[in-house]
Amino acid sequence: MKPAKLHCWFLGCFSVALCCCCASDKFTQSDNHPHTWKKLYLAHHWPVTVCKMSANDCQDPPEYWTIHGLWPDKTEECNRTWHFNVTEIKDLMSDMRRYWPDVLHSSLNRTQFWKHEWEKHGTCAATLQVLNSQKKYFGKALELYQHVDLNSCLLKAGIKPSSSYYQMTAIKEALTRFYGVMPKIQCLPPEEGEKAQTIGQIEFCFTKELQLRNCTALKGENEPVQADLKLGTEELSVCSDTLPTYYPSQVQDHK
């Protein structure tokens, strides 16, 4: 099953209505709550780059953007007693395996990746009623992923995995044109002797009303908690606008 197709122009005004049903919250967010946050990051990572960063033997990484996580800014591990229970997301399992896989450990217990994302980030996102259970958190992340439809939008812009290089400014212009907002784009810096950075992660930002917004901090906002990808000594950082950008189709397909 491919991600649902969506007219990209719609995303400029895309929003998701908040759930109004009454549910038992683990806690309620307020302006003075110690776990208050301002925005959510829906992080997509490129599995081929993730494998390039790791000494692990990745087996046939997906050649489409997958979910890394749904992260509130400036909070982590907000409720350490609220443990992950995979049975709560059993109805989502088919989509979880396809769109939110553990790229590095496909042959192991993949639920450990989801456990990490829930306990580090989901317990903080749960201050929002629409995300206040494990099923709601993972289900909403999958829903946002389908609406954003990054894979289709990049293809429509003519940006696809290749042995050639792209200009980062062209990638940014395409994404801004489609979505009406600027996401955060991260790359693996060039290795010694290389001239190009490698695209690895694209994060879309949402308000607490689940509307797309720019990822740059607004006046009065703090910078987000560091939730970037680091594997061994390899670490993603915000992409340079001046370096050529590699969008690899295979782990070893770099020249």
73 token code pair: 């800014």
18 token code pair: 């908040």
Known catalytic membership, residue 33: no
Known catalytic membership, residue 68: yes
Choosing from 35, 44, 45, 117, the catalytic residue is: 117
Q: How far, CA to CA in Å, does 30 sit from each of 34, 35, 92?
A: 9, 9, 30
> What's the rounded Cα separation, in Å, for the pair 73 and 221?
10
Choosing from 35, 44, 45, 121, the catalytic residue is: 121
How many CA atoms within 13 Å lie on the side-chain side of 128?
25
Q: Concatenated DSSP letters for 19-77? A: P-S----S----TT-TT--S-EEEEEE-HHHHHHH-SS---S--SS-EEEEEEETT---
Known catalytic membership, residue 88: no
- Answer yes or no: are the C-beta atoms of 185 and 238 closer than 8 Å: yes
- Answer yes or no: are the C-beta atoms of 35 and 27 closer than 8 Å: yes
The candidate with the shortest Cα–Cα distance to 207, out of 119, 154, 130, 117, is: 130
Q: How far, CA to CA in Å, does 68 sit from each of 24, 117, 184, 190, 215?
A: 28, 9, 14, 22, 16
Choosing from 44, 68, 147, 203, the catalytic residue is: 68
Active site residues: 68, 117, 121
